[in-house]
A = this chain, B = another copy of it.
Amino acid sequence: MNGAECILRTLKANGVDAVFTNPGTSEMQLVAALDAVDGVRPVLGLFEGVCTGAADGYWRMARRPAATLLHLGPGLANGLANLHNARRAGSGVVNIVGDHATRHLALDAPLTSDIAGLAAPMSHTVDTLENADAISRATADACARAKSGGGAISTLIVPADLAWSPAACAIETAAAPGDPDAPEPSRLAAAADALRAGAESVMLFLGGRALCEDGLAAADRIRRATGCRLARPTFNGRTPRGRGRPAIDRTPYLSEFAEQFFAGVSTLILLGADEPVAFFAYPDKSSRYFDDSRAVIAPAPTGVDPLAALQELAERFPGGDAARGDAGGAGEHPGRTSGALTPDTIGLSVARRLPPGAVVVDESITSGLSLPAHTEHAAAHEWLDLTGGAIGQGLPLAVGAAIAAPDRKVLTLEGDGSALYTIQALWTQARENLNVTTVIYNNRSYAILQMEMLRTGANAIGDKAMSTLDLANPAIDFCGLARSFGVDAARAETAEGFDDLLAAAMERPGPFLIEAMI
Contact = CB atoms under 8 A, between A and B. Distances in A.
Interface of A: 21, 23-26, 28-29, 31-32, 34-35, 42, 44, 46-47, 49, 73-75, 77-78, 80-81, 84-85, 88, 100-101, 103-104, 107-111, 113-114, 117-118, 120-122, 160-161, 164, 235, 274, 277-281, 283, 287-288, 387-390, 392, 417, 420-421, 423-424, 427, 430-431, 448-449, 452-453, 455-459, 461-465, 467-469, 471, 473-481, 483-486
B49 A456 contact: no
26 contacts: A24-B452, A25-B456, A28-B453, A31-B449, A32-B459, A34-B468, A35-B463, A46-B417, A46-B421, A46-B471, A47-B420, A73-B80, A78-B80, A78-B81, A80-B80, A100-B280, A101-B287, A104-B281, A109-B280, A110-B279, A111-B280, A161-B281, A164-B456, A430-B474, A476-B485, A480-B484
A121 B110 CA distance: 14
Contacts of A110: 88, 235, 279, 387-389
B468 A80 contact: no
Given A32-B453, A74-B388, 9 more contacts: A23-B468, A31-B458, A35-B464, A35-B465, A42-B464, A42-B468, A44-B468, A80-B118, A109-B287
B88 A80 contact: no
B278 A109 contact: yes
A46 B424 contact: no
Nearest 5 interchain pairs by C-beta: A35-B462, A474-B486, A480-B484, A74-B390, A32-B458
B108 A274 contact: yes
Given A111-B389, A111-B390, A46 B420 contact: yes
A480 B473 CA distance: 18
A136 to B, nearest CB: 20
> In the assembly, how many copies of this chain are there?
2
Contacts of A164: 283, 456-457
Contact of A281 (B77, B84, B101): B101
